[in-house]
Amino acid sequence: MARLANLETEYPVLDSTVRNFCASHGIFSVEDFLIHDLYMLAAFAEQNDSSERLKEGIAQVLSIIDDMHQPWLNGMELLEDAKRNKHVFPTGIQGIDLLLGDGIRVGQLTELVGPSSSGKTQVCLRTASNVARNHMVLYLDTGNSFSPQCIAYFLGKTISPSSAQAKNQFLQKVMSNISCHSVFDIFAMFDVLHQLESYLRCQDGRGCCQMRLLIVDSISSLISPVLGSSSTLGRALMTSAGYLLKKLAHQHNLAVLIINHTVGGEGGSSKPALGDSWKCIPHSRLFLSCDRGSNTYNVSILRHPSMASVKAARFVI
């Protein structure tokens, strides 16, 4: 979903009159429109001198939202889509790849949950370094966690003996395939994801090196602040973020890897942050922890579309 100012070329009815009216009610994008009381908005439009024009604009935005819904697919179409497009990308971490059946799945959201220092960012960096050997990766960094030094270290561990020049060329190739953006609020993330969506539409069908992995480190850092300010607005933004991430994954065959933190649960246990409204968003959920005083990590599956029972593994990064 996009900002209203970017839609006028395709939809002339969304001109400055409509946009200024919307802006006066705090509506600048389709997301803002979704979380607004449409009955109140229509009532305000009726009181305006340009009421007919405004009602046309409101109807146009509703039509745009309706067009964004995907048509229903029958079981055979879903099976064919899964066979044709939904592959997996190895993370490069043996324990996790064995646990997931070769890696993270394209077309789905995989969530890494865990407390601080449980290895979540390290898994993201290792996965980025592995996928970027042959594909482009977009890394959204919300807390200055991205480390090119770690990427180089992981690559150095897996490069077979060769000349220094060959190693340097390989490193340059992989690093150039990773694009890192710093985003510090949810609205900045929406802007980057809308730009990504436009880019993916242009690259689909081309033979160039394509974007295949999107990492958000971390989604909870962006959503938690808006949940605390207003429950209605925050939940709507959270739902919009989840919808957009899943849409990008499914329509453009991306593997989406996101980080979520933990909060205190009943009896002092830890549980994933963002609450029950978010837990249905990720297709797969992995819980990470670290053995105190060692570099051994533990991972267990909290949720997976093709695994009914909880499984666990140990790994070293």
What total of structural domains would you count in the chain?
2
* Residue 34 lies in domain: 4-68
Residues 180, 283 within the same domain: yes
Residues 140, 251 within the same domain: yes
Residues 33, 174 within the same domain: no
Q: Mind listing the pLDDT tens digit of every residue in the chain (317 residues)?
A: 568 888 888 888 899 999 899 888 888 887 777 777 776 788 888 888 888 888 888 888 877 776 665 556 667 766 666 666 568 999 999 889 988 888 999 999 999 999 998 999 999 999 999 999 999 999 999 999 999 999 999 988 877 767 778 888 889 999 999 999 999 999 899 999 988 988 888 776 665 568 999 999 999 999 998 887 555 778 878 888 898 899 899 888 899 999 999 998 777 788 899 988 898 899 999 999 987 777 788 999 988 877 655 577 777 77
74 is a domain residue:
no
CATH of the domain at 129: 3.40.50.300
pLDDT for 178: 96
pLDDT for 92: 92
- Tell me phi and psi for residue 38, to 5 degrees: -65, -30
Examine the fold and report which residue of 18, 44, 68 is the final residue of a domain before the chain moves on.
68
Residues 10, 122 within the same domain: no
Examine the fold and report which residue of 21, 46, 68 is the final residue of a domain before the chain moves on.
68
Contact (CB, 8 A) for 109 and 256: yes
Sheet holding 211-217, edge to edge: 178-182, 136-141, 211-217, 255-260, 109-113, 284-290, 296-303, 312-316
pLDDT for 8: 84
pLDDT for 22: 87
pLDDT for 269: 80
Residues 96, 190 within the same domain: yes
73 is a domain residue:
no
pLDDT for 270: 85
Examine the fold and report which residue of 68, 96, 119 is the final residue of a domain before the chain moves on.
68
Residues 20, 141 within the same domain: no
Contact (CB, 8 A) for 113 and 287: yes
Residues 105, 54 within the same domain: no
Residues 229, 176 within the same domain: yes
The full 3-state SS of the chain, as one line of letters, equals: CCEHHHCCCCCCCCCHHHHHHHHCCCCCEHHHHHCCCHHHHHHHHHCCCCHHHHHHHHHHHHHHHHHCCCCCCCHHHHHHHHHHHCCEECCCCHHHHHHHCCCEECCCEEEEECCCCCCHHHHHHHHHHHHCCCCEEEEEECCCCCCHHHHHHHHHHHCCCCCHHHHHHHHHHHHHCEEEEECCCHHHHHHHHHHHHHHHHHHCCCCCCCEEEEEEECHHHHHHHHHHHCHHHHHHHHHHHHHHHHHHHHHHCCEEEEEECEEECHHHCEEECCHHHHHCCCCEEEEEEECCCCCEEEEEEEECCCCCCCCEEEEEC
209 is a domain residue:
yes
268 is a domain residue:
yes
Residues 18, 126 within the same domain: no
pLDDT for 214: 97
Residues 113, 142 within the same domain: yes
Contact (CB, 8 A) for 225 and 185: yes
Residues 233, 206 within the same domain: yes
Residues 108, 250 within the same domain: yes
Separation of first and last alpha carbons in the chain: 37
